[in-house]
Each structure stands twice: as C-alpha cells, then as structure tokens.
Amino acid sequence: METTLIILKPDAVQRGLMGRIISRFEDKGLQIVGCKLMQISQQLAATHYEAHQSKPFYPGLVKFMTSSPVLVMAVRGNGAITIARNMMGATFGSKANPGTIRGDFGVSNSFNLIHGSDSPEAAERELRLFFGPGEVLNWKRDGDGWIYDMSGGKAE
C-alpha cells in the first residue's frame, strides 16, 4: 500500500467541489487516512513548489495557492499514486479527458483544481510538509476485503 498527498486547490474549495472529488477517491476504493482544511502560508507554498522557483509561472502559482483555503488529504491504496494521477487527468482542464476530475470540472489552463504527488519520493516529502506526526492514521477498513483480492496474502 502506498500513501499519496492530494490537495484540492483554492478553485475546487471555492466552487464547492470538495465532497464530489473526495467521493471519487472513496468510490474508487482509496482510503482517506488524513484530511484537513487549511490556508497555505507563503513559506509553505515556497517550500512545496521550490522546484519551480525559476519558472515564469511560479509567482502566480504561489499567489493562487495562498489565495484561499485548500483541502489536503493523505490517500492510501494499492498503487494510490498512479491511480490518483489517472483520476486527476491532464494538467490543463481544457485538455483533460471526460471522466477525470479535471476533465469533468475544469476548463482553465491555470486553475486546475487538484494536486497529487507524482512519485513515492515526492509523496513522502509532501506528506511531511502538510501533515505532522500522528495526523496520517493507520486504520483497518472492514471493506478492504471487498476492494482488494487478498487471496494471495497481499492486495491485488
């Protein structure tokens, strides 16, 4: 099982899409193991997006991400990073396929609703930025036996 960071960005929060987007992850069978509504500080945004500091879109990205509350989630499942990124769709809503979060809810090429970690290393780093000790929980869902084939001793 892997855990990934998902951020519902200011546009998703302001548009009242949080519940609909969370439902998609839960409907897919992924487990929400941490969740909080928060206002991202300038410092946290700068740290989170430090790899993009030299890019022309960086100032606008930081301004956008600090403009309104966001919902941060720790989402767990077998292959959670790839599954979540596929569910999100292409970066730009105008290019995202229907059936994806961005394809169904977005048209903007700058406001793109959602962030998801792109690798296990990024997920580990990002989860540490947004969640403190004890804020990402380990708990057994009774329904996991109906989500994953566990007959071989591990989730399939």
d(CA 82, CA 73): 16
Q: How far apart are the first and last CA of the chain?
A: 10
Query: Which of the 8 DSSP states describes residue 137?
Result: -
pLDDT (tens digit per residue) in 20-44: 999 999 999 999 999 999 999 999 9
Q: Which SS3 state, helix, strand or coil, does residue 115 take?
A: strand
| 115 catalytic per annotation | yes
Query: Which of the 8 DSSP states describes residue 41?
Result: P
pLDDT (tens digit per residue) in 32-84: 999 999 999 999 999 999 999 999 999 999 999 999 999 999 999 999 999 99
Q: Are strands 31-38 and 114-116 parallel, antiparallel or unpaired?
A: unpaired
Phi first, then psi: give them for residue 125, nearest 5 degrees: -65, -50
Domains, the chain, ranges and CATH? 2-132 (3.30.70.141)
Given the residues 102, 115, 116, 131, the one annotated as active site: 115
pTM: 0.93
